[in-house]
Each structure stands twice: as structure tokens, then as C-alpha cells.
Chains A and B, each alone.
Chain A
Amino acid sequence: MISINSVSFRYPGSENWVLKEASVDIEQGEFTAIIGGNGAGKSTLCKTLNGLIPSYYVGDFEGTVMVDGLNAATTSVAVLSEKVAYVYQDFENQLVRPTVLDEAIFSPLNFGYPDYMERGREALRILGLSHLEKEHIWQLSGGQKHLVALAGALSLQPEILIIDEPVAQLDPAHATELYDKLKMLNEEYNKTIIVIEHHTEFIANYCSSVIMMEQGSVLWKKPVKYGLSLVEELMDKNIHPPQVTQAMFQLKREQKPKLFPITVQEAKAEIQGKYEILPGPHLFSSQVSQVKGVETISMDGVDYGYKTITRKRKPIINELSLTCYEGEKIALVGSNGAGKSTLLKMISGLVKPQGGSMLVNGQSTSKLSMEQLAEKVAYIYQNPEEMFIEDSIYKDIDYFLKARKIADRREFIEEIIQRFHLEELRERDGRLLSGGQQRRASLAIGIAMKPSIVLLDEPTASLDIATRKDMMKMLNNLNGFVKTAIVATHDMELVAEWASRVIVLKGGIILDDTTPHTLFSNPALLREASLVAPQIVTLSKEVNMYPAAITTEEFLSRVKQVGVGGGSVECVSKAL
């Protein structure tokens, strides 16, 4: 279907080759994932398939790309687009029409298909969007928008679908739903599907093959089980294999097998009978400690809603009461639209509660201006770009301090810059940084406000694993700087590794106020809040480990090979 032969490309005037003699073949009906670090050339490679490179982005192009018998370099983008559809990572910007149906019929209409209406409707039907046909795009949730972008691509009935980072902005339940849809398109409609993906758990569960790229070249293409079993190589390139694969790699370090289990079921088969499960700490011993510090945030019967285009009030937060204390690391979890961001915005004073009382450090937020509240509360936006209001990172960090005419702030800013490793970026414009750098800078801007409460909205969304790890380290180092940290997130591994308390939201009310351990051992609660526990939790349950381990480290410390002293495994887990 696709044959890429020794393809090189560089942008005009640039010294660096973005693609360097990349070669790979993809068969019809394959479901393949492209992995590799930032700047590996993954998106660039995909753009050679629909002719954007070299027809639209003119540059030095060598080699041949054949798509369904056509030479992509000499075929027009229009002709190729009918065979290859592309869904961007920032899919919101690819939606150009006001309503869902308009969006779905856009491409077939442009190409002049008389049956454009049927094609659009069919694409919506396949993806289960028919009921949203008349909705305005800007009122949809992120997950729905993503599906609409996919429908817009599907309406041309292409043979090949390329999706760049399909789940980066979705909650776990919606992410699984999206992949199920892709699987259905692959199996029932025999579409060739190519995803660019950081989350190896999804690759393991859905893809048939995996392509590894580095510095513009294709290193290898392997069946998914073989590819993901190269644990050391993947880790070396900052790609995390699935949690179960990592766990089994550590357990079987001595035997050095060629293949490791990559799904929960495979790992279960390997563990059962061969390993002994050690009892863990009792669930209640890890419960929120009864001795609580000073109250920092206190909400009582708080309400909030907004008006929709039909002037009806849509409630977001319903009579919510919550008290947070000093020293807590709180994770807010729940599906898209559960009210997580709104709750954070309310604490920061960006929106005022419409009912009930909201006290921050004992003062009612309704009586304080945003500027006054900001002296105590730092709110880190989900989209870091909206925090860059100056033309350099240094000035952005300085803004708050300068407005308050704080003397000798230079030294403090330098300290912050060092702490967040921004030395080389200090004079750069925040908007031009990479995603990971932007997050780091936005966190630095927030911490430079010396807040006692810090609120983070999706701090790890759409980060690759290396930057995500970096972010985790930063979050763990917040102690001592701030009294209370609250994170709204879809990232369940972040919840497992970082949080001391978890607030589960659904439809603007608190479903549960608990700890990561209790949350992940409660399947009914997870289902109700549309959450999916980390893979290692599922594995723990499958092998009858109670209470379930929530991190790979914890899992490893609680399994022992039958007939072998606990020593080796414990060593390994310490080494991790």
C-alpha cells in the first residue's frame, strides 16, 4: 500500500535534514504506530504520504514515496488527499466550519461529490456522532471535537488514515473509546491506520506493528510484540514500554528472554504459578491521615453554571463542599466536562461562585479581586501559551514581581530559572518553545509568584515521556514552596505516583474523596467517573494482589519468584 524508499527532506535554507534516508513499507489493512522522541521526524514522514511534502512545503526532497501505486512526490495533494486522510494533533485548528454536519461534508463537497451529504452523514454515523449533527463545533467537548475531525477525514472514504497523537487531550475512557473506533475502522472497513503515539499501552492493545524513528530515519519496523519487548532500547530513547512490560522486564532480568508480555493478559499468564504475591499494607493504613494541618481552602455549597447559546443555564458545579489542608497534594479527576477546570478557576478567583461560600486562607474569594487572590494562589493554565504575555521567559517570570515593585528580585528570578532549567530559554519567546519547555516555563512563572496554593490544569497533557518525567520531578519538589497543590488531570499514572488525596468529580458533584489506592481498587467508582486505572493496577487485580499495587515499583516489591529468596527482586525494585 505504502512504500517509502530512502526518503530525505530538508526545509529550504535549513542545514538539517528532517528526514534522512527513511525507508519503510506499510501493507494494506495494517494498524501501525510510529514512535520516537521529539524531533524524530514522525509527522514529517507522514506528511510525505499526502504530498504536503514536497508539493506544499517545497524543499530538498530525495527518494520515492509510493502510495497505492502513485508516486506521491509528483501527484497533486488533492488526488492524494482522497486516499490519505490526516488528523492533526492540534485537531481543533483543522475544524473550519461552524457546525458538525458542515464539517463532515466539507471535503466531499470541495471535491465535488454529488452525494456529499450522504458521505458526511455516513462518516458521522460510523463514529456515532449523528445526534450531534446540528451542534456548533465550539460548544462541543474536546473528545467530541476530535471525533468530528476524524469524521471530516473519513467522509472522503480514504484508504489510509493518519492520526497524530490521538489521545493526548482525552480522558482515559474517551481515549479507549477513540481507539475502539479506530480498531473498528481497521477491522470492519479495512482501513490502513497509522498513529503517532507516545502511549505504548494503546500500541500494545491495538496496533499490529510499530515503527521506530530517530533523527529522521526509520530504525526498524517490527510486529508490535517484538518492538515493545526491546525494553532497554526504548527506555534509552525515552519511550516507556507498557507498565506490565517494564515490570516483567525487571522480574526476568536474569533470564534475558527475547520477548516480554505487552498486555495484562499475557503478563498474567507469565506470573501465575511462577511468582508468589506478597501481602501489601492494609488499605486503611494509607488512608488520609486523621491529623490535619491548617485549612487553606474551604468551600461550602458552592454553585456555578454558565449560559449556553440558547440562554439556558448549564450547571457545572452543584452545591459542592470541600476543605483542603496544608501539606496536601490533591488530584482532581473525572471525565471531560466533570467540572475540574471550573473548580480550579473558582479557587483562583477567575470565576466567582454563584452560590455558597468559598474561602481561601480564610478570606471569601467574592470579596477579593483576581489580583489580590493571585498573591496567594497561582493558577497554571492548561494551555501554557495563554500565560506568555511578554516577549521573553525572563520578563514573563518577572511580570508579577515587577508589578509589585519587589526590590532585589533579580537574584530570586535567577534561582527560579535555575530550578526549572530555563537558563538557555530565558531570552526566548515562550510561544516559540516546544510543548515540554512551555510547560516548564509556565510552572516557573507560577512558582515565582511565591504562592501558598498552586493549581495546575492538566500539567502532563500531550507531553512526551521524558518531559513528563521531568514534570513529575518538579511537582514532587513543590513541597516547601507551596502549602497546598491541586492538580486537575486525566493522567492516572500521575495520580498514582504523586497524589496524597484524590477528589473524584462527576457532573459537578464529588463522587468520592479518597486516596489513590482506594480509588484504583474500586472498579464501580472508576467506571462511574469514566476513569481507567493504570495498567499495573489491572495486572495486580488479575493476579489477585490485594490491595492492588498502583505503581510499577510497588508491584515489583510485592512479587517473589516461587522457590527463590526475596532478595533479587527486592534489589531490582530498589534499583528502579
Chain B
Amino acid sequence: MLNVFQKLFSKLSVENIKIELMRTAYGTEETVLSRLDPRMLIVWSLFFTTVPWFIHNMTILIGLAVLMGVLAYMARVSPLLIVLLIIGVISQFTYLIFVALFLGGTFTALLAVIPLTIKIMIISLSSMAVFTSMDPEKFSDALLSFGVPGKFSFGVSYGYRMLPILIEEYQSIIQSFRLRGKMPAKKGILYWRYIVYFLKISVLAFYPMMLNTAKRTRTTVEALEIRGFSYSEENDLAKKLKLKALKMNKYDYQFVAITSVITICIINIGMFYPL
């Protein structure tokens, strides 16, 4: 058990986390879902994040969870996110057990929590599948077509562009603190001294990062001006050009059809064999 944890923690380096985050954000791989129209994907995921709340039939919920699991697998969702999801589910369960026992309840109380957990899983898996498959450009174009202001949709894609820069900057500032700092001589019980030391650094490192970033923005703002960004705000030309590229094709309709058929089947089975 200890070994498993050690192996897990060794994978939790800043480098690995960065790569996994970027993979999720940029949707680099050609998967079944990545070729779909982003507008359709957003509507689709909205459907699957709201509908579970109105379903109380366990068979249907389990069926949907399995469907989302398969889609998440096909979208090649990052293992890091899956592990985080599992940790979240397990920890939620454990703490509910403790609360139930502490308040003098019985384990039956737990059974009531299972549907909620499954609902959350369905929602998490479907949004992970969608966001892993959609690169920031598609996402921001889709927002634009829904009538979200241009500044906002640009902000979304610019945020993605800044993400790796910020992570790298944060990492080097933390290293800068460490290169000139001194670790506590004693570990303390449960490493608490080390934990305090690292927590302190990770908070302090935010300020230099923000200030450095603020300095960079000056050039960015000027560049946006001369590259016609505010011009495109005043004219709809750019928006029209961008949205022209968005088209629903045969593949999109197939996807909607197949997932609808499966969902209907699941619901039907659930009606006949409720758990």
C-alpha cells in the first residue's frame, strides 16, 4: 500500500501536473469527440449535466455513468483527472461514514448518498470528456456564436494561452525562494514543519508572479491594439468570418443520434428493471 502511494506521489511532480493540465486544456489528440462541432458538444454536455438531477432511478443512473465512462475513455481523459475524481469520491464516502457513525446513524444512511455520488460522477465524466476534446479556440468560437461578447470569448482563449506561462513563472519563483531559503532543520510530527515551509513559499510566490505578469501585459495590450483587436470589436466582420468555419456535419448528427439512442435504451431498461 505504501509503495502504491509512493509511486503515485512520484508522478505528482509539477512537470507532470503541468503536462496533464495542458493536455486537458488543449485537446491535442485526434479522438472520436475532437472532430465534433463545439456548439453541439456544449449543448450536449449541458443536457447531461442537468438531466441526472431529475432522475431517481438507480438503473438509469448507473447506465448513464457507464456511458459517460466509455465516452471519457474514448476522449482519452487524463489519468490525473480520473485519479483526482476517484480520490474525491472515496474521501467523500469516508467522511460521510464518519459523520453517520458519529451522529449515531446507521450504514443505511450511506445508501442514500450513493445516488448523489453517481450523479456527480456522470456530470464530472461528461464535462471532462467534452473539455478534453475541445481546444480553447473551438470553445471560444462556440461561445461567440452563442452571443457571448467578443472580449469574453477572447479572454477565455487568452487564458489558455497564458496558463503554461503562468505555471512556469510560478514554478521558477518557487525555486527562487527555495534556492535562497532554508528548510527547517527538523521535520516535526507528520512533517508539519516542512508542510508549513512549503505552504508559506507557495503563498508568497504568488505576489512576484502577479507583478511580473502585470508588467508583461503592457506589451500585450499594445500588441492587441495594433493587431486590430479593438477594431474587430467594433466591426462584425471578424465574427462573421470566424463563425463561418463552424458547421454541423454528418458526423455530428451521427454522434447525437447514437448517444440519444443509447440514452433512450438506458432509460427504457431502467423503467422495466429499476434497482
Interface set, chain A 77-113, CB cutoff 8 A to B: 77-78, 81, 85-86, 88, 90, 92-99, 102, 106-107, 109-112
Residues on B with C-beta less than 8 A from A95 are 161
Pairwise interchain contact A97-B161, C-beta atoms closer than 8 A: yes
When the two chains form the complex, which single residue of B22, B172, B238, B242 contacts A309, counting CB atoms closer than 8 Å?
Answer: B22
Q: Are A94 and B219 in contact (CB under 8 A)?
A: yes
Do the beta carbons of B182 and A371 come within 8 Å of each other? yes
* Cβ–Cβ < 8 Å partners of B176 in chain A: 381, 386-387, 389
Task: Specify which chain B residues have a CB less than 8 angstroms from the CB of A138 in the assembled complex.
Answer: 161, 164-165
The answer to whether B220 touches A93 (Cβ under 8 A) is: yes
A372 to B179, CA, bound (A): 8
Q: Which of A395-432 contact B (CB under 8 A)?
A: 399-400, 403-404, 431
Are B227 and A110 in contact (CB-based, < 8 A)? Answer: yes
Q: How far apart sit A98 and B229, CA to CA, in the bound complex (Å)?
A: 16
Beta-carbon contact of A97 and B157 below 8 Å: yes
Interface size for B (C-beta < 8 A) is 57
- CB-CB under 8 A from A399, the residues of chain B are 180-181
Residues in A neighbouring B169, C-beta threshold 8 A: 386
Residue-wise interface mask of A (328-363) relative to B, using a CB-CB cutoff of 8 A (1 in contact, 0 not):
000000000000000000001010000000000000
Among B136, B157, B160, B228, the one with the most A-chain Cβ atoms within 10 Å of its Cβ is: B228
A379 interfacial contact with B, CB 8 Å: yes
How would you classify the secondary structure of chain B's contact residues: helix, strand, loop or mixed? helix
B238–A308 touching, CB < 8 Å:
no
Instruction: Report how far A387 CA is from B178 CA in the complex, Å.
Output: 11
| Contact present for B161 and A98 (CB under 8 Å) | yes
Q: Is the CB of B227 within 8 A of A311?
A: no
Task: Determine whether A12 belongs to the interface, using a CB cutoff of 8 Å to chain B.
Answer: no
Residue A520, interface by CB 8 Å: no
| Docked complex Cα distance between A56 and B226 (Å) | 10
- Distance of A138 from chain B, by nearest CB (Å): 4
A449 at the interface (CB under 8 A from B): yes
B238 and A449 form a contact (CB under 8 A): no
Chain B: which residue is nearest A107 at the CB level? B227
Decide if A289 is an interface residue (CB 8 Å cutoff).
Answer: no
Contacts of B91 in A (CB 8 A): none
Over the window 20-57 of chain B, the binary record of Cβ atoms lying under 8 Å from chain A Cβ atoms (1 yes, 0 no) is 00110010110000000000000000000000000000
Is B105 part of the binding interface, using a Cβ–Cβ cutoff of 8 Å? no
B211 near A: Cβ within 8 Å? Answer: yes
Does B241 sit within 8 A of A, measured CB to CB? yes
**Chain A CB within 8 A of B215 CB:** yes
Q: B231 touching A110 by the CB < 8 A rule?
A: yes
Is the CB of A276 closer than 8 A to any CB of chain B? no
Say whether B252 faces chain A, with CB atoms less than 8 Å apart: no
Whether A160 sits at the interface, judged by CB under 8 Å, is no
Residue of A nearest to B219 (CB): A93
Question: A310 to chain B: which residues have CB within 8 Å?
Answer: 28-29
Cβ of A388 and Cβ of B26 under 8 Å apart?
no
Task: Mark interface residues in A448-464 (1 if CB within 8 Å of B CB, else 0).
Answer: 01000000000000000
**Interchain CB contact under 8 A, A109 and B241:** yes
Report if B237 contacts A (CB, 8 A). Answer: yes
CA distance A385 to B213 in the complex (A): 10
Closest A residue, CB atoms, query B135: A98
Known: A88-B219, A369-B183, A389-B176. A96 touches B224 (CB 8 A): yes
In the complex, which residues of chain B have a beta carbon less than 8 angstroms from the beta carbon of A116?
Answer: 241
- Cβ of A114 within 8 Å of any chain B Cβ, yes or no, is yes
Of B137, B205, B231, which one neighbours A78 at CB under 8 angstroms?
A: B231
Q: Which one, B173, B177, B220, contacts A94 given CB within 8 A?
A: B220
Docked complex Cα distance between A203 and B89 (Å): 64
How would residues 297 to 337 of chain A score, 1 for a CB under 8 Å from any chain B CB and 0 otherwise? 00000000011111100000000000000000000000000
Q: B220 to chain A: which residues have CB within 8 Å?
A: 93-94, 96
Q: Looking at the assembled complex, report how far the CB atom of B241 sits from the nearest CB atom of chain A, in whole angstroms.
A: 6
Measured CB to CB, the closest approach of chain A to B44, in angstroms, equals 23
Q: Which residues of B contact A112 (CB under 8 A)?
A: 232, 235, 237-238, 240-241
Q: How distant is the Cα of A152 from the Cα of B26 in the complex, in angstroms?
A: 21
Residue among B136, B177, B217, B240 making CB contact with A389, cutoff 8 Å: B177
B232's nearest neighbour on chain A, judged by CB, is: A110
Instruction: List, sorted by A's number, 14 A–B pairs whose CB atoms are closer than 8 Å.
Output: A94-B220, A96-B220, A96-B224, A98-B136, A98-B160, A102-B137, A109-B241, A111-B238, A308-B19, A311-B23, A350-B179, A371-B179, A372-B183, A403-B181
Shortest 8 CB-CB contacts between residues of A and residues of B? A112-B237, A110-B228, A94-B223, A110-B232, A93-B219, A78-B231, A403-B182, A400-B180
Other A-B contacts than A90-B216, A383-B172, 4 sampled, CB-CB below 8 A, are: A85-B226, A311-B19, A371-B179, A381-B176
